[in-house]
């Protein structure tokens, strides 16, 4: 029985053996608490029917816990220096494939087609590098991968924004983007003391359960998101002001924007953060029809 990777002692031994130094630019923080890793895998509800995608396996601490339960694991690692370490630490497992690629540049559907055996469910489980959390999650969601869920560790403040409800200070275009594709919930808060090196902030694990459809059906997805982004551009401004200032041609189309708000029964003096995703859907469709008459 080999020892778990995620203990302070074993992590230190591995890093010293390979003379590994952390790169700040890659946002490398390794977890040194096996219980937390098991809790992440629990939260993701992994079974042997699961094919798992991991991003940034580091020295394999979470990878190992996923591999113990999943049918197979595909892990994307950008840092070449970690490949020989992973080859050693994960040597006992024959259901892991490490792909040396930046997940943001990778053709994920192609990799899955080439590497995955038949499976009944596909899940993403990862301790994400903080500086690219949002682009990674948005890429995974917008690429229409056949995902059931994404269970990831990220900065607590980003988790708060992704799970925020209308009318709260954390609610914004990121909340709507994530909740458009998923049901988002925070599973646990993780203190900074269980990482090496210690980050400056606490982390949270969130589970995003991918919806069968979208939260709202809209005429034009790109237009919907541009309305959402414009509505939050300056938080203190009213929705009418924000849309007229920040939508392309908004100043010219101010009358149409006002008309759309009235037709959607949304008070032009409201702020973007008070609108639900359904209200945004209805508003963007109403405005889209008016502008494309």
Position 169 scores a pLDDT of: 94
Tell me if 107 is assigned to a ligand binding site. no
Shared domain check, 155 and 28: yes
Question: What 3-state DSSP class applies to 129?
Answer: coil
Please identify, among 210, 238, 260, the residue that sits at the C-terminal boundary of a domain.
210
Look at strands 30-31 and 182-190 and give their pairing.
unpaired
Shared domain check, 175 and 86: yes
Residue 127 host element (H or E): strand 121-127
* Calpha distance 233→53 (Å, rounded): 34
23, part of any domain: yes
Please identify, among 210, 229, 248, the residue that sits at the C-terminal boundary of a domain.
210
* Calpha distance 86→244 (Å, rounded): 52
3-state secondary structure 182-233: EEEEEEEEECHHHEECCCCCCEEEEEEEECCCCCCCCCCHHHHHHHHHHHCC
* Calpha distance 100→83 (Å, rounded): 8
* Calpha distance 22→81 (Å, rounded): 10
Give the model confidence (pLDDT) of 4-38 as tens digits: 888 888 888 888 898 887 776 666 778 888 999 99
Shared domain check, 203 and 260: no
40 pLDDT above the threshold of 80: yes
175 pLDDT above the threshold of 90: yes
Tell me if 241 is assigned to a ligand binding site. no
Please identify, among 176, 210, 244, the residue that sits at the C-terminal boundary of a domain.
210
Position 4 scores a pLDDT of: 85
2, part of any domain: no
Position 24 scores a pLDDT of: 67
CATH code: domain of residue 230? 1.10.8.100
1 pLDDT above the threshold of 60: no
Position 22 scores a pLDDT of: 72
Shared domain check, 33 and 123: yes
178 pLDDT above the threshold of 60: yes
Shared domain check, 185 and 105: yes
Position 27 scores a pLDDT of: 64
Q: Which range among 128-132, 154-158, 210-214 shows the weakest confidence by mean pLDDT?
A: 128-132
Shared domain check, 183 and 103: yes
204, part of any domain: yes
63, part of any domain: yes
Shared domain check, 233 and 184: no
173, part of any domain: yes
* Whether 41 contacts 125, CB under 8 Å: yes
Highest mean pLDDT among 19-23, 116-120, 263-267: 263-267
Shared domain check, 192 and 113: yes
Shared domain check, 194 and 59: yes
Shared domain check, 229 and 135: no
Position 11 scores a pLDDT of: 87
Tell me the pLDDT of the chain averaged across its residues: 93
Residue 285: band (very low, low, confident or very high) from pLDDT cuts 50, 70, 90: very high
Shared domain check, 164 and 54: yes
Tell me if 127 is assigned to a ligand binding site. yes
- Kindly give, in sequence order, each residue whose CB lies less than 8 Å from that of residue 274, ignoring residues fewer than 6 positions away: 166, 167
pLDDT average, residue stretch 110-138: 92
Residue 12 host element (H or E): helix 8-18
Shared domain check, 284 and 152: no
What is the tally of structural domains in the chain? 2
Residue 50: band (very low, low, confident or very high) from pLDDT cuts 50, 70, 90: very high
To 10 degrees, what angle do helices 133-142 and 156-163 make? 40
Tell me if 31 is assigned to a ligand binding site. yes
- What is the largest distance, in Å, between two alpha-carbon atoms of the chain? 71
Domain range holding 232? Answer: 221-291
**Which of these, 26, 24, 10, lies nearest to 61 by C-alpha position?**
10
Tell me if 77 is assigned to a ligand binding site. yes
Position 26 scores a pLDDT of: 66
């Amino acid at each position: 029985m080999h020892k778990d990777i995620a203990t302070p002692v074993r992590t230190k031994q591995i890093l010293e053996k390979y003379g590994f130094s952390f790169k700040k630019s890659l946002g490398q923080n390794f977890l040194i608490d096996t219980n937390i890793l098991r809790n992440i895998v629990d939260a993701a509800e992994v079974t042997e029917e699961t094919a798992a995608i991991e991003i940034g396996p580091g020295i394999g601490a979470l990878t190992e816990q996923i591999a113990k339960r999943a049918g197979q694991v595909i892990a994307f690692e950008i840092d070449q220096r970690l490949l020989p370490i992973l080859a050693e630490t994960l040597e006992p497992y024959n259901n892991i494939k490490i792909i040396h690629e930046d997940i943001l540049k990778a053709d994920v559907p192609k990799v899955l087609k080439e590497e995955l055996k038949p499976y009944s469910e596909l899940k993403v489980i990862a301790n994400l590098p903080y500086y690219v959390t949002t682009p990674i999650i948005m890429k995974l969601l917008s690429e229409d991968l056949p995902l059931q869920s994404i269970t990831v560790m990220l900065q607590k403040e980003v988790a708060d924004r992704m799970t925020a409800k209308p009318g709260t200070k954390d609610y914004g275009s990121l909340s709507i983007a994530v909740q458009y594709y998923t049901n988002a919930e925070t599973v646990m808060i993780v203190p900074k003391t269980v990482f090496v090196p210690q980050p400056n902030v606490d982390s949270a694990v969130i589970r995003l359960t991918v919806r069968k459809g979208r939260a709202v059906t809209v005429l034009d997805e790109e237009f919907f998101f541009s309305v959402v982004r414009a509505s939050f551009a300056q938080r203190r401004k009213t929705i009418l002001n924000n849309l007229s200032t920040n939508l392309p041609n908004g100043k010219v189309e101010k009358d149409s924007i006002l008309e759309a708000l009235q037709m959607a029964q949304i008070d032009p003096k409201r702020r973007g953060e008070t609108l639900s995703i359904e209200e945004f859907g209805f508003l963007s469709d109403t405005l889209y029809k008016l502008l494309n008459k």
